Each structure stands twice: as structure tokens, then as C-alpha cells.
Structure 1
Amino acid sequence: MPVLTRLIPSPVVVDITRGALDDLAGLLADQRISSSGKLAVAISAGSGQALREKLSPVLPGAAWFEVAGGTIDSAVKLADDMRGKRYDAVVGLGGGKVIDVAKYAAARVGLPMVAVATNLSHDGLCSPVSTLDNDNGRGSYGVPTPIAIVIDLDVIREAPGRYVRSGIGDAISNISAIADWELSHQVTGEAVDGLAAAMGRVAGESVLRHPGGVGDDEFLTVLAEALVLSGIAMSISGDTRPSSGACHEICHAFDLLFPQRAASHGEQVGLGAAFAMHLRGAHDQSALFAEVLRRHGLPVLPEEIGFSVDEFVRAVAYAPQTRPGRFTILEHLDLSTDQIRDAYADYAKTIRS
């Protein structure tokens, strides 16, 4: 009987350590990603300049490109600017927007992409998706998984704390997203990739159960690993199912309905995940979510991010429209506005008690 296996798209190297940036050139050479040092490095126009000054001496063969925002236009421009020149790889050095732009541009010119994250705000650093703003709002574009992930904990510590807190919300939301995936399997027959689900769930649980905080290297390492594993889980499943369910639908609704007031991605999905767990009757787990989110300084009620109860109810009611065809607890219950309001009142009472 033949032994059947499958190849899993994943980075050839994941380096999550203090001082990881100090030997970036050596790491890329050792892994045969770039022995010549000819790299196209994408940075933000603001904070990226300080990192350019730090890294230019150790990357003498690199060409530096400033990225103006996380838009499809920026990604196309970066690809056009690189075209016709010889590079071994594209390096996205910065936060989520820069990395998403670099992933898309690298795919467009056919080069491997190295993600060098300067914050841990969400799981997009290793995912096969670039989320970019376009003329119609925001779109998700399929791209290859980065060939390498480099996360320097010293650099992460220098980033504003809200970025780490955002990553915590995004990682924990995996648990709710996978519960939605399994619900869809039970109700609609949608296939669940067991390996992707296991990887995504373990990533979320590792952050949820860790007793440390954002000031601990051990906790930051666990969070970084969880975000990387979430990205690989999405690569395995071929979509965002392991990390995106009702929690993300609610987040996207906030983004679309209140674009000038939306909070960070992780704050919104963390709140969405806690509420979604309550909707499915997992009140103890919803309360645990709220407890952990509070401990890390994340919101558990809409007023904590500047939204009224009415606005939250409106966002939840609109949420299913953000992902047509995706089945979550929201589509399953199909609640009226009054029912959402009642469910929220019960949720707020439960997590306050």
C-alpha cells in the first residue's frame, strides 16, 4: 500500500530571536536565499528610515524602496520599480502594510519574499494573502508564502505596545474561527482540513493559555510563533478559514461601516471572537476570552473602542455581507437586530459578572 503524503508550503527558515536583524545577510546567504546580497528591500516612508540606517552597512548590495501605504497601487508601483533589475529576493521590512505590499510585488515579479516583521500586529506576516486597499475598499490577494520569516525581539520591544496587543487578539480569534469552520462542516458539509485546523487551534490556545505578558521575551516568542503558525495553517487549507470566521466578519463590518473610526484589527477581532463564542453558547470560554483580553489591555466591550451598543449591533447585523458564501455562527443563527441586541446585553452581563 503506498504511503501518501503532501507537501506543506512553509518558510525555509523562521528566526525569532533577540538580535535577529544583526546577521540578516548571513542568514539569507546560509539558506541560499541570497548569496550575492542583491536584495530589493521595501520599507515604510516613516519609521523604516531608522532601520535602513541600521541595516545599510550590513546589506551593501541592497536597493531600498519606500512604500507609501498598504494599497494595491503601492504594490504595483513597487513591482514596476523592481522590474528589469536583478535581485535574489524581495525583503519586506516593517509592519503589516509593508509586508503585504512586498508579498504582492514579489509575486508579481516572480521573486521569493522575506518577511522581516517589526511588530506583531496580526498573522499576515506568514500568510499566503496580501490584504491591500483598492478603489472599492479593501481586497485580499493570493500570494506565495514568504520563504523566510525574521522577527527580532529587540525590534518588537521598540514598537508601540498596541501592536503587540493587536496580535494577541488576532491569534486568540483562531479558536472562534475554527469553531465556525467545524460548525459549517456539521451544517453545510464544508470540508475541514484537520491539519490546518489543528495548527490554527494550537496557535490560538498557546497565546490564550500563556501566563506571561507583552514585556516577556518568552511570551513575545510564543505570540510570534502563533502568528507564523496561523499563516502556515492558511497555506495548508488554501484559504483563511483557520483564522477567519464571525470574528473577522464583525471586524470587516466595523472597517466598512465606520472607516474613519475603526480600531486596530486585533482589537476588533478579539472582541468579535469573545462575542461569537457567547453566541454559540460557549459562555465559559467567552468569559475566558474576555478575561485574557482584559489582562492584555484589549477591549471586550464596544464602548472601549469608541462604539455605541447600537453601532455594535449594526456591525454584527451587517457582518455576514462582508464574506458572502462563508458560513459562521452569524449565518447559522441569522439573528434579527433585536435578537442581536438581546444577545449583546446577555454577553455584557456575563463577562461583567
Structure 2
Amino acid sequence: MPLLARSVQTPLHIEVRRGAVADLGAILSDGRISAGGDVAVVVGPGQGERIAELLEPTLGSADLFTTTGGSLDAANELGSKLRNRSYDAVVGIGGGKTVDVAKYAAMRRGLPMVSVATSLANDGIASPVASLVTDGIKGSYGVHIPIAVIVDLDFVESGPERHNRAGIGDVLSNISALADWELARQVRGEPVDGLAASLARAAAEALINHPGDMTDDDFVIVLAEGLISSGLAMAVCGSSRPASGGCHEIMHAIDTLFPETASHGELAGLGALFCTWLRGDERRLRQMSACLARHNLPRTPADVGLDDEQFAAAVAFAPRTRPDRYTILEHLDLGADEVRSRLGDYVDALDRDDD
């Protein structure tokens, strides 16, 4: 009998709304994740007191852990602490670093993990990947997909606007990542998972055509759901392929060569725009450039404080960050000198579109 369907791991519960952290006890109980609130709550260093105050009425039996740094060491340290008691689940509340530490620690202990995002900086909130720093280098570690994904719009609104806007660049980069995936199919015969591609594409298309901004709840919900869909796309195909191509290779290269230049989402958006220009896709270039400009996100190396020499070095180095991945960067095989010579044309193309 032919296989007519496939099973896909997804979160049991997804919720994007205001007041979600205060209602966390009810959400966990209603979702049959933890009826009694016996969970380990992991927070970052900046908001522990506020979160503890909100959780006390409904999650009084929870243990609160604070983590910092977003490193593999921090995740392993948290995993050791989780051995001291039996928990129903690990609940990571915060930004990407906190959620990733909680993901990895939960996996090591064999516990389900609940991702509660208080910022929208990248698509890690729902992905089966934890980005953790080891010996100064950020690496990606496969983990279980969260059993629930919750976004509290109150926390998002009160957080740094720049961090939240950065998520726009990460979702937008799906367009370039999918083009790279199709290129790999054409050149190397790499299989493309249609369902994963559809989820990633729908997220980007919904965002690129939305007229709102971060002051508009409707837009913020589209952004949050786009980040979640990107994470689900990765879970569907068991790879970051639908949301990570040459765009993320450039991002990882800049992180390696010039640390703390800009955030994940800001660099992913910039990398996606440059890769789209290299691809010669003028229609997409105009669309993506207009979206990034509308949301005050970087479009040129100068926007993130890099000169042409530095950006060219990063682009030339980028393929080394994902040796197994075929993108427009591997296809063109540009050296630093050639990238540098093309940067003027790239900036000119953006200026023409702005006029």
C-alpha cells in the first residue's frame, strides 16, 4: 500500500496574544502540559522579578531559574540543575538566548519544552534548533521542537523595538533561502520539500505585503506567526534549509569575523538582499529593499558599520560556515576582490530603486 500521508512534529499549542505570561498556568493546564504547575521556568537576567510576580498566582509550585550568555556551558549548567526535581516541562521565557538555552537543557533531560517569546528577533522561537556559543563561536544544535509556542504581545511591546524589528529581516530572508534551495535542486539535484518551502514562503509573503509596522498589533501578529511558520518549516524537513541559505552564511561569517556588528535578523535581511542582487532578481530586490527600508532595517554594509573591505571578506568567508550547503555564493564562487568590486553596483541598484 502506498504511503498517502506523513506525520509531522508540531507544537501542541500555539498562542499569540497579550497577557499570555500572566495566564501561563491556565495555558499549561488546558493544554495538558502541566496540570499542577510543576515546571521549571527559565528566564534571562533582565526580567526575572517581573515574570515571577506574574506567575506567582497560577504557577506557585514552579521553580524559577535565571540564565545568561546563551552558551553551551550555560545550557549544560541548567541541565544539571534540572536533575534536582521531577518536572512536567521546561518553560523558557525571554528572547532567543534564553529560549535556546532552555531548549537544549530540556532535550538533555528528556523533558518537553515550552517556548514563551517576549521578543521577535528571530525564528528560533519555534524551531528544532538551538543556537549556542562554544569557545566564542556560535553553533547550531538540533533539539526537540517546543511542545508549545507562546508569544506575549505585552512583553514584545515593552521590549527594545530594534530587537523586534530584526525579526522582519529573518522572515524576509526566507525568500532568498528558498531561491538558494531551488538553485541547489537545479544544479545538484538536491530534493526540495514542498511543504516546508510552502510554510517558509507563506510567512515571508504575508510580511512583505503587509502595510503595518511594529506599532500595529495586526502586523506584530503576522510577524510572530511568520517566525513560528519558519520554525515549523525547518521541523517539517529536518533542516534549516527553507529559512537559511547564502543570507545566513553571510550572517554567520560576519558574526565570526566581526562579532557584535548587528543582530541575527538584521544581518540575515542584509545578506538576503545582497544574495538576491547577486541572483539578478530585480523584482524581488525591489520588494525586499522597500520592505527593509520601510522598517528601518539595514540594506548596505555601511548600515551595520562595515566598510567594503570587511563586508567583502565576510562574503568570501561565508561558504565556510556551511560547507554542506549550496547557495548563490557557492555557485558564483566570488573572491573578496570580486565582491568588493561589485559592491558599488549593488549600492547603486538600491539607490535607483529608492528614486
Does 2:156 match 1:156? Answer: yes
**1:222 aligns to what?**
222
SS in 2 for 1:226: helix
Q: Which AA in structure 2 matches 1:311?
A: Q
Does 2:39 match 1:73? Answer: no
TM-score in terms of structure 1 length = 0.97
SS in 2 for 1:40: strand
Task: State how far apart, in whole Å, the 2-side matches of 1:179 and 1:147 are.
Answer: 30
Kept after mapping to 2: 8 A contact 1:48/1:94: no
Q: Which AA in structure 1 matches 2:30?
A: D
Kept after mapping to 1: 8 A contact 2:43/2:98: yes
Task: State how far apart, in whole Å, the 2-side matches of 1:148 and 1:6 are.
Answer: 21
Q: Which AA in structure 2 matches 1:330?
A: L
**2:193 aligns to what?**
193
Task: State how far apart, in whole Å, the 2-side matches of 1:239 and 1:312 are.
Answer: 27
**2:308 aligns to what?**
309
Offset, 1:53: 2.2
Q: CA RMSD in A?
A: 1.1
SS in 1 for 2:212: coil
Offset, 1:343: 2.6
Task: State how far apart, in whole Å, the 1-side matches of 2:46 and 2:337 are.
Answer: 45
SS in 2 for 1:324: coil
SS in 2 for 1:58: coil
SS in 2 for 1:201: helix
Kept after mapping to 1: 8 A contact 2:254/2:314: yes
**2:95 aligns to what?**
95
**1:276 aligns to what?**
275
Does 2:340 match 1:346? Answer: no
Offset, 1:284: 2.5
TM-score in terms of structure 2 length = 0.97
Kept after mapping to 2: 8 A contact 1:43/1:49: no
Kept after mapping to 2: 8 A contact 1:283/1:350: no
SS in 2 for 1:191: coil
Aligned-residue identity in percent: 51
**2:182 aligns to what?**
182
Task: State how far apart, in whole Å, the 2-side matches of 1:242 and 1:280 are.
Answer: 17
Query: What is the number of equivalent residue pairs in this alignment?
Result: 352
Task: State how far apart, in whole Å, the 2-side matches of 1:77 and 1:185 are.
Answer: 41
Task: State how far apart, in whole Å, the 2-side matches of 1:99 and 1:34 are.
Answer: 19
Between 319-328 and 332-341, the greater mean CA deviation after superposition: 332-341
Kept after mapping to 1: 8 A contact 2:126/2:149: yes
Kept after mapping to 2: 8 A contact 1:279/1:343: no
**2:12 aligns to what?**
12
SS in 1 for 2:22: helix
**1:203 aligns to what?**
203
Does 2:246 match 1:246? Answer: yes
Offset, 1:7: 1.0
Kept after mapping to 1: 8 A contact 2:22/2:54: no
Deviations 1:111-132 (A, max 9, x none): 1000010000000010001110
Deviations 1:231-275 (A, max 9, x none): 00000110100110000000011000011x421111111010001
Kept after mapping to 2: 8 A contact 1:115/1:150: yes
Equivalent residues in 2 for 1:261-272, closer than 5 Å: 261-272=260-271
Equivalent residues in 2 for 1:250-261, closer than 5 Å: 250-259=250-259, 261=260
Structure 2 residues without counterparts, runs of 5 or longer: none
Offset, 1:3: 5.4
Offset, 1:17: 1.1
Kept after mapping to 1: 8 A contact 2:200/2:229: yes
Structure 1 residues without counterparts, runs of 5 or longer: none
Offset, 1:156: 0.8
Offset, 1:2: 4.6
SS in 1 for 2:100: helix
Q: Which AA in structure 1 matches 2:287?
A: L
Task: State how far apart, in whole Å, the 2-side matches of 1:169 and 1:109 are.
Answer: 33
Deviations 1:261-306 (A, max 9, x none): 4211111110100010000110221122111101101011111111
Deviations 1:48-101 (A, max 9, x none): 332222222321010001102100011011110011411110000100000000
Kept after mapping to 2: 8 A contact 1:96/1:125: yes
Offset, 1:136: 5.6
Task: State how far apart, in whole Å, the 1-side matches of 2:216 and 2:284 are.
Answer: 25
Task: State how far apart, in whole Å, the 2-side matches of 1:337 and 1:77 are.
Answer: 40
